[in-house]
Structure 1
Amino acid sequence: MAASFNEQDDMITEINMTPLIDVMLVLLIVFMVTLPAITNTVKLELPRADSAPSESQPQRIELSVDAGGVVMWNAQPVDEAALAAKLAAAAGQQPQPALQLYADRATRYEAVATLLAAAQRAGLTNINFITSPKS
Structure 2
Amino acid sequence: MAMSVGSDGGDDKPMSDINTTPLVDVMLVLLIIFLIAVPVVVQTVELQLPKVAFEPTTTKPENVSLSITTNADGNCAVFWGMTPVSSDELLDRAVTKLESDIKKAGGVENLTPEDLPEVHIRGDINTPYRCIGGTIYTMQRAGFPRVGFISEPEPGSNSTRL
The TM-score, its normalising length taken from structure 1, stands at 0.53
Q: CA deviation at 1:121?
A: 0.8
SS in structure 1 opposite 2:116?
A: coil
Count of aligned residue pairs for this structure pair: 79
User: Hey, which bits of structure 1, 4+ residues long, moved more than 6 A?
Assistant: none
Matched, 1:96 2:96: no
The letter of the residue matching 1:119 is M
The letter of the residue matching 2:64 is I
Q: CA deviation at 1:58?
A: 5.7
Matching residue of 2:67: 64
Matched, 1:76 2:61: no
Q: CA deviation at 1:80?
A: 1.7
Please identify, of 67-76 and 87-96, the stretch whose mean Cα deviation from structure 2 is larger. 87-96
Q: CA deviation at 1:107?
A: 0.3
- Which runs of 5 or more residues in structure 1 are unaligned? 1-56
Preserved CA contact (<8 Å) 2:87 2:138: no
The letter of the residue matching 2:135 is L
Matched, 1:86 2:86: no
More relative contact order, 1 or 2 (CA 8 Å, 6+ apart): 2
Distance 2:152 2:69 in 1: 13
Matching residue of 2:53: none
Matched, 1:125 2:145: yes
Preserved CA contact (<8 Å) 1:90 1:96: no
Preserved CA contact (<8 Å) 1:58 1:96: no
Alignment of 1:1-135 (within 5 A): 57=60, 59-68=62-71, 69-92=76-99, 93-94=101-102, 95-135=115-155
The letter of the residue matching 1:101 is I
Give the number of the structure whose alpha-carbon radius of gyration is greater: 1
SS in structure 2 opposite 1:132?
A: coil
SS in structure 1 opposite 2:70?
A: coil
Distance 2:138 2:91 in 1: 7
Distance 1:87 1:120 in 2: 9
| Deviation by residue 1:5-60 (Cα, 9 ceiling, x = unmatched) | xxxxxxxxxxxxxxxxxxxxxxxxxxxxxxxxxxxxxxxxxxxxxxxxxxxx5612
Coordinate RMSD, CA, aligned: 1.7
Distance 2:125 2:154 in 1: 10
| Deviation by residue 1:106-127 (Cα, 9 ceiling, x = unmatched) | 0000101100110111110121
